[in-house]
Chains A and B, each alone.
Chain A
């Protein structure tokens, strides 16, 4: 079975084609164009959606030719229906609906966050993991129980990705800033005390963000180092709590911030202590991509009929713990 997946929830417009045989999936192509705002600025939804509109034909045709597939070969089309930025989501949905109605291909709306998890499971081979989803849109600890992903802990305000991006922008980087911050942080070992806010299994980052900004006026490297150390220690502690509470023997990290090496290093240590296997999604597929949407759509198509065109809406607010998973 061959599927096309379209991702456009935030800064990335991406199309991917995956061939599914049994439980295995082979990514035939995954093409993306990422909207880059000017240094110091965030993603403006209108500007990002314009970027997506301009790039969608290029990305789509590149994706098809790279996979050596014609539209007529596609069995299903899936698109990210939420959560995300409204104007951006609509671009992907329009592309998906157009193809679906013109070529009469079944269409599947997919939850973007579930996509991160499912693609992570496909690529890492994790079986029943505790999942840490860390990105610009999410910071959540999840485990699967009784047909739904259950939230064990999450951020009470901004996400880890937002924390890094907003701080990064305040010192002049362009979003996404995680990589720049990681590079600067690796050149310092001078820890400046910052607020550490763990509330049971939940975390709160907004106070940490405000407290780190003035420190960067004295030293950007110390600020980056201390910010990473504090935020990642908070995450690691909640992961440790959840591992101990759920007795899960696997941990999988997915989402854009999964690309950070220092975070992986800390979580590896946590897993060692608790005798859990550590899985991290490959760097190339950590950030938003069409593959995550495509694979989840293919999984859904095993158990669900495709959506009728009038039901192919987008939803800016769509929590992943409200999705019933039957595959």
Chain B
């Protein structure tokens, strides 16, 4: 096995599983965290992620195939998607892709799931298909507030990491999102996003 990325939550290795090239995602022990809290978090997220990776496929969302799960090691063995994270693509491309991302998020929400960590690093472009990954913080929820938290996060990421293309990408994201969830729900969620933002510290009170 070869280490290819030290992510925030897990280390990612490549290796072979039953003769096919695969990814090994291992949530290593975090020594800074209290032991029992740490094992609880790693266990819960490994379970959630492996379940969700399979579940979202039935919604029509491309995601890596899960080969094997080892809870003792908090390890998921999955199909490798050898593409590029949307985060690293040229800005002009990100703007266009945001529409597709919006659609995928719409599909997720329509089926009562929130992703919990919607960043541009968690979408991978491979052979013109966008794959959604990293479901460790996902939840089954139909609460509009939870869906709004998802949208707020991607908006925050666009605003910080992709500040120059924020407006056009956010607009495209919403077009894609609306095409799946419909105008009334989209309007409702966008309103909730502003509500969450206005709760922020020192937000301008209108």
Q: Taking the complex as formed, is B181 at the interface, i.e. its CB lies under 8 A from any CB of chain A?
A: no
Q: Taking the complex as formed, is A196 at the interface, i.e. its CB lies under 8 A from any CB of chain B?
A: yes
Q: Establish whether residues A273 and B6, one from each chain, have CB atoms under 8 Å apart when the complex forms.
A: yes
A-contacting residues, B1-19, CB 8 Å: 6-9
> Which stretch in A10-18, A25-33, A73-81, A263-271 binds the other chain?
A263-271
> Which stretch in B26-34, B99-107, B123-131, B182-190 binds the other chain?
B26-34
Task: Say which residue of B30, B41, B137, B163 sits within 8 Å of A200 (CB atoms).
Answer: B137
What residues on A are CB-neighbors of B199 within 8 Å?
156-157
What residues on A are CB-neighbors of B149 within 8 Å?
199-200, 202
Binary B-proximity of A117-156 (CB < 8 A = 1, otherwise 0): 0000000000000000000011110010110101111111
CB closest chain-A residue, reference B7: A244
What residues on A are CB-neighbors of B89 within 8 Å?
none
CB closest chain-B residue, reference A192: B36
Q: Establish whether residues B121 and A191, one from each chain, have CB atoms under 8 Å apart when the complex forms.
A: no
Given A138-B201, A145-B163: A241 and B116 within 8 A (CB)?
Answer: no
What residues on A are CB-neighbors of B202 within 8 Å?
82-83, 137, 316-319
Binary A-proximity of B28-47 (CB < 8 A = 1, otherwise 0): 00111111111011000000
Q: Smallest distance from the beta carbon of A158 to chain B beta carbons, Å?
A: 9
Q: Taking the complex as formed, is A246 at the interface, i.e. its CB lies under 8 A from any CB of chain B?
A: yes
> Which stretch in B50-58, B75-83, B152-160 binds the other chain?
B152-160
Q: Establish whether residues A246 and B161, one from each chain, have CB atoms under 8 Å apart when the complex forms.
A: yes
Binary B-proximity of A43-86 (CB < 8 A = 1, otherwise 0): 00000000000000000000000000000000000000011000
Task: Say which residue of A151, A245, A270, A318 sits within 8 Å of B32 (CB atoms).
Answer: A270
Q: Taking the complex as formed, is A159 at the interface, i.e. its CB lies under 8 A from any CB of chain B?
A: yes
Q: Taking the complex as formed, is B196 at the interface, i.e. its CB lies under 8 A from any CB of chain A?
A: yes
What residues on A are CB-neighbors of B163 within 8 Å?
145-146, 148, 150
Q: Establish whether residues B153 and A191, one from each chain, have CB atoms under 8 Å apart when the complex forms.
A: no
Q: Establish whether residues A229 and B203, one from each chain, have CB atoms under 8 Å apart when the complex forms.
A: no
Q: Establish whether residues B116 and A191, one from each chain, have CB atoms under 8 Å apart when the complex forms.
A: no
Given A191-B37, A233-B32, A244-B7: A200 and B164 within 8 A (CB)?
Answer: no
Q: Taking the complex as formed, is A243 at the interface, i.e. its CB lies under 8 A from any CB of chain B?
A: yes
Q: Taking the complex as formed, is B20 at the interface, i.e. its CB lies under 8 A from any CB of chain A?
A: no
Q: Taking the complex as formed, is A236 at the interface, i.e. its CB lies under 8 A from any CB of chain B?
A: yes
What residues on B are CB-neighbors of A274 within 8 Å?
6
Q: Taking the complex as formed, is A182 at the interface, i.e. its CB lies under 8 A from any CB of chain B?
A: no
Cα distance, A210 to B152, chains bound together (Å): 25
What residues on B are CB-neighbors of A319 within 8 Å?
200-204
Chain A interface size, under 10 / 10 to 19 / 20 to 34 / 35 or more: 35 or more
What residues on B are CB-neighbors of A241 within 8 Å?
8-9, 117
What residues on B are CB-neighbors of A143 within 8 Å?
160
A-contacting residues, B65-83, CB 8 Å: none
Task: Say which residue of B8, B30, B153, B203 sits within 8 Å of A202 (CB atoms).
Answer: B153
Q: Establish whether residues B161 and A240, one from each chain, have CB atoms under 8 Å apart when the complex forms.
A: no
What residues on A are CB-neighbors of B196 within 8 Å?
156
Q: Smallest distance from the beta carbon of B48 to chain A beta carbons, Å?
A: 13
Q: Taking the complex as formed, is B169 at the interface, i.e. its CB lies under 8 A from any CB of chain A?
A: no
CB closest chain-A residue, reference B40: A193
Q: Taking the complex as formed, is A166 at the interface, i.e. its CB lies under 8 A from any CB of chain B?
A: no
Q: Smallest distance from the beta carbon of B79 to chain A beta carbons, Å?
A: 22
Q: Smallest distance from the beta carbon of B29 to chain A beta carbons, Å?
A: 11
Q: Establish whether residues A317 and B203, one from each chain, have CB atoms under 8 Å apart when the complex forms.
A: yes
Task: Say which residue of A83, A139, A193, A236 sits within 8 Å of B33 (CB atoms).
Answer: A236
Q: Taking the complex as formed, is B118 at the interface, i.e. its CB lies under 8 A from any CB of chain A?
A: yes
Q: Establish whether residues A152 and B37, one from each chain, have CB atoms under 8 Å apart when the complex forms.
A: no
Q: Establish whether residues A240 and B31, one from each chain, have CB atoms under 8 Å apart when the complex forms.
A: no
Q: Establish whether residues B160 and A152, one from each chain, have CB atoms under 8 Å apart when the complex forms.
A: yes
Q: Smallest distance from the beta carbon of A154 to chain B beta carbons, Å?
A: 7
CB closest chain-A residue, reference B114: A199
Q: Establish whether residues A146 and B164, one from each chain, have CB atoms under 8 Å apart when the complex forms.
A: yes
Given A146-B164, A200-B116, A319-B202: A245 and B8 within 8 A (CB)?
Answer: yes
**Residue of B202, B204, B205 with highest tally of chain A CB at under 10 A:** B202
30 residue pairs bridging A and B, Cβ less than 8 Å apart: A82-B202, A83-B202, A140-B201, A145-B160, A150-B160, A150-B161, A151-B156, A151-B159, A151-B160, A152-B156, A152-B160, A155-B201, A159-B201, A191-B35, A193-B40, A196-B41, A199-B116, A199-B149, A199-B153, A200-B149, A200-B150, A201-B156, A229-B34, A236-B33, A243-B8, A244-B6, A245-B121, A246-B161, A270-B32, A273-B6
Closest CB pairs A-B (n = 3): A150-B160, A200-B153, A269-B32
- For the A-B complex with A241-B117, A265-B32 known, give 16 more contacts whose Cβ atoms are closer than 8 Å: A83-B201, A83-B202, A137-B202, A138-B201, A148-B163, A199-B149, A202-B152, A230-B34, A233-B32, A237-B8, A237-B9, A241-B8, A269-B30, A317-B204, A318-B202, A319-B203
Please report A residues at the B interface, Cβ cutoff 8 Å: 82-83, 137-140, 143, 145-146, 148, 150-157, 159, 191, 193, 196, 198-202, 229-230, 233, 236-237, 240-241, 243-246, 265-267, 269-270, 273-274, 316-319
